[in-house]
Chain A
Amino acid sequence: MALLVLASVLTCSVVGSAIGARLLGLARQTRQLPELLIGTGVFAYSSLALPSLLIMGLPSLSVGAARVFQLLQQTANFVTLSAVILFTWRVFRPDAAWARALVVAGIALAAVASWGTVSVAPETQGASAMPEQVRPYVSLMVVVWAVIFLWTGLESLRFHAMMRRRLALGLGDPLVCNRFLLWAIWGLACGALDLLDLGYNLAGFDFSRHPAPLLTICASCLLSSAVWYLAFLAPESYVQLVASRARG
């Protein structure tokens, strides 16, 4: 199990860092906010949050170093969450007052959850098990993530349906239509996995040792790697496949 977690987290970290860097490079060219937001989110999660999570699991890590990586991981996680919720608002609902309120509430609640999580420092060397007093904050963070994932997934699914109707009229790009579907799959699946994590947290599972939460980490990392790759760095063979399927 440990090897599977290591392989999936490393895969996601490498793939996500490359794609995040590409999106940030794109943002530099276009000077547009959506690519800056999603590039920041993917890059911060893949290159900072995930490696920090792995390092925190090392048994030989000193308490001081564990504290540093805990702060880094939580900061990167908060940056990622803020970037994804801002991206969803900016892309899908830039004019909706309720969406702005949801963004403010989501970021505020995530800040509270992050602060609550880092307020309890690791106490002993190699202690990766979650302290009990942190669990309410972890639940809050998981709920905020789930809401954001489900929101972005549902918005993207709605646009995928619209793009399919355009394709039926001979308008639109099948690859963009497929990109909406991939983003929807990612959002909805990660939202569902987060709800599973909420259940595990409420049941008192140790996230660093129990196989069920470790499996959800593997699933979300592998899914994220695949979706980000196909959506933002699709190989020519995949582009051709999508195009040929659209032609019927």
Chain B
Amino acid sequence: MASSAAYEAAQQVLETSAGMERWAARGAIQLALMDGGFESGSVTVAEMEVVVDKLLARQLETQKVSDVAGICAKIRAALGGIGDAPGKDTPDRIFQRLGKGKAK
């Protein structure tokens, strides 16, 4: 399954700014996504922003990455410059449609 634009952007920043190997960057993001209940192929920009703030920062700290706050800021900036690819039909979007309404 192809990764989403948000996933690719975060990975790019980790490789270029944190000096992480490709596999290490993907692994760190993958673990953060799993903790948040997301999949690499469907995570959106808005969801990735929350994952970066609440989960990826902690993940990078455990991997002894330096300047975690700065790197997360760069990821957020990178995410701000991209948009989601249109319309991948994920299970949560399908189950959202099948119901009558939305919980408030």
Contacts and interface: CB of A to CB of B under 8 A. Distances in A.
Interface of A: 23, 26, 30, 32, 34-35, 38, 91-92, 95, 155, 159, 161-166, 169-176, 179-180, 183, 231-234, 239, 242-243, 246
Nearest to A170: B50
Interface string B17-29: 0000000000000
Contacts of B98: 23, 26, 34-35, 38, 179, 231-232
Given A166-B38, A232-B99, A232-B100, 15 more contacts: A23-B98, A34-B94, A162-B38, A164-B37, A165-B37, A166-B37, A169-B36, A171-B36, A173-B103, A180-B95, A183-B95, A234-B100, A234-B101, A239-B101, A243-B103
Given A165-B35, A231-B99, A234-B100, A95 B1 contact: yes
Contacts of A170: 50
Given A34-B94, A38-B98, A91-B94, A174 B38 contact: no
B96 interface: yes
Interface string B52-73: 0011000000000000000000
Chain B contact-residue range equals 20 to 34
A162 B37 CA distance: 4
B47 interface: yes
B51 to A, nearest CB: 8
A34 B100 contact: no
B47 to A, nearest CB: 6
19 contacts: A26-B98, A32-B97, A34-B89, A35-B97, A35-B98, A91-B91, A91-B94, A159-B92, A162-B37, A166-B37, A173-B103, A176-B92, A176-B96, A179-B98, A231-B98, A232-B99, A232-B100, A233-B100, A234-B99
Contacts of B37: 161-166, 169, 172
Nearest to A166: B37
B84 to A, nearest CB: 14
Contacts of B54: 169
Pick the most buried of A164, A175, A234: most chain B CB atoms within 10 A of its CB: A175
Nearest to B54: A169
